Amino acid sequence: MEPSTVQPEFDRLRERMIERQIRARGVTSERVLDAIGRVRREGYVPSYLGEFAYEDSALPIEEEQTISQPYIVAFMVEALGLEGGEKVLEVGAGSGYAAAVLGELARQVYTIERHARLARTAVERLTRDGHMNVHVRHGDGTLGWPEKAPFDAIVVAAGGPGVPESLRRQLAIGGRLVMPVGDVAGSQHLVRITRTAEDQYQEERLGDVRFVPLIGAEGWHAPATVPGDSPSR
């Protein structure tokens, strides 16, 4: 494909993805759909997978992790109910794609990634695309980012045995948390938790999903110790 035709082709594929994979499956928020349309997903996958960036599937990235299928990203982001002025925490930055989408919708986004390599590449991609309201930390996401709490919304891009207590405590009253939860790694149901008072939470089940395991002090245990927190940007 000639260089001059690559970007129009990606733009066409992105538009088709939004209409066929996301809107047609029930995501109706125009704010979310517009945000998805402004983020070039091909820039958040390994270069050799760029041609598959807009297919309806998760894709492998470095460190044996994945970038979620576009519909799941849109569905989870819509479930947060963002209106534009929020401070959001994301656990599991991965490639940086979902953080970029969140950055189009929220005032400030704080995202944590336990793999140093992924944290570095996420910073590079987000900086390249001008998402200066997205901040990346390398560390244990199950412990959250306490010095930046409380958060109006929290989204967790990995499945844990339960919602980490640290994340519950860092959710603002009235805030919403969306996360895959399940007793078996790799098979979970998506929950939305709304903090209604200091010690009260309302939980809704949104559907069955499959995510990589949430590794950390308040998640699944890893064979090796997760390095300590160190801000990346």
- The burial class, CB within 10 Å (0-12 / 13-18 / 19+), for 30 is exposed
Cα 222 to Cα 91: distance, rounded to the nearest angstrom = 16
Cα 29 to Cα 78: distance, rounded to the nearest angstrom = 7
Told to judge if 166 belongs to the known catalytic residues of this protein, a careful annotator would answer no
Angle at 96 between CA 95 and CA 102, to 5 degrees: 145
CB 181 within 8 A of CB 204: no
Cα 97 to Cα 67: distance, rounded to the nearest angstrom = 8
Selecting among 4, 57, 68, 230, the annotated active-site residue is 68
Residues that are catalytic = 68
